[in-house]
Structures are given as structure tokens and as C-alpha cells.
Amino acid sequence: MADATNPMDANAVHAAGAQSRAQATPVATTRPGMVTFAAVMMFVLGGFQLTWAIVEFANAAWLAGTVYGNFNGYLWLWAILDLLLAAVSFYAGYDILRGGTFGYIYGALVAGLSAIRWFFYLPAAPVVGIVVIALDILIIYGLVANSDYFRGRSAA
């Protein structure tokens, strides 16, 4: 039994209470490395999307000469879509670094949709498609594996 007049016993009781509170609610106070990795990969993904949008706007001859041609003259629509995805990817990367819920949800959503979308480009640009799909999978893993960090940041 702790004696209230003894300062050593009071410190022991306070430390035990703090330890039990820390075990009950684990909150990540620093950004995990995989979250930083996911944010950086989201910036890289945005760079790929931006580069691909520029290629599509330029209506590059090598893309028009592929098996599928220039997508029936609607290549500029894909360019606009890629430009929007690049902007959202850059913002989501920034929000992931801040620990924002928008970055967490939208980052996983954009990475998932981007991976599915790039499967359609595999016949036209297989190397770029495989690289982007791999980046998307790593982004999803980095976000989902550290979801406790985002919960802790939104509670703070």
C-alpha cells in the first residue's frame, strides 16, 4: 500500500498510472517511415501522371503508332484525366505528410484506381505501366500498414 506522505510512493503510483494509460491507447507520435515512404511515392506517382499527361497532350507519334493508335482521337481527354490525377496525387502526398485523413483515404483510393487503370495501358507502354502499378501497391501498403498513425493524428 502506498503512503501518501512518502514522495517516492506517490511517484511510483503516478508512473504506474501513466504506464497503464499508455498501454491502453497506443498513439504514434512521430510519423512512421512507411507513411513518409507512401507520401514520397505519392509525389512520384504524381510526377509520372504529369509526365504522361504531357506526352498525351503532345500527341506523341510513338503513342499513335502503337497497336491501339491514339484512342480514336480522344487522347486529349486522357491527358486531362492524367493532369487531374497528378494534381490530386501531389495534394494527397502533402496531406499524408501532415497525417490528414483525406490523404489517407484518397491516397489509398487513387492508388487503387490508378493501378487498375494502368492495366489498360500495359499493351501500349508495358514498362511504365508495371512501374506505376508497383508504386501504387507500395503506396497502399504504406498507408494501410500504419493506419494507427492517422487515427492518432485525427484524434489530436
Q: Phi, psi at residue 63, to the nearest 5°?
A: -75, -40
Q: Taking 80 as the threshold, does the pLDDT of residue 114 lie above it?
A: yes
Q: Taking 90 as the threshold, does the pLDDT of residue 51 lie above it?
A: yes
Residue 32's pLDDT is 84
Residue 130's pLDDT is 95
Mean pLDDT of the chain: 78
Residue 83's pLDDT is 93
* Average pLDDT estimate for 54-67: 67
Residue 20's pLDDT is 52
* Average pLDDT estimate for 87-102: 90
What's the pTM?
0.62
**pLDDT tier at 48 (50, 70, 90 boundaries)?**
confident
Residue 17's pLDDT is 56
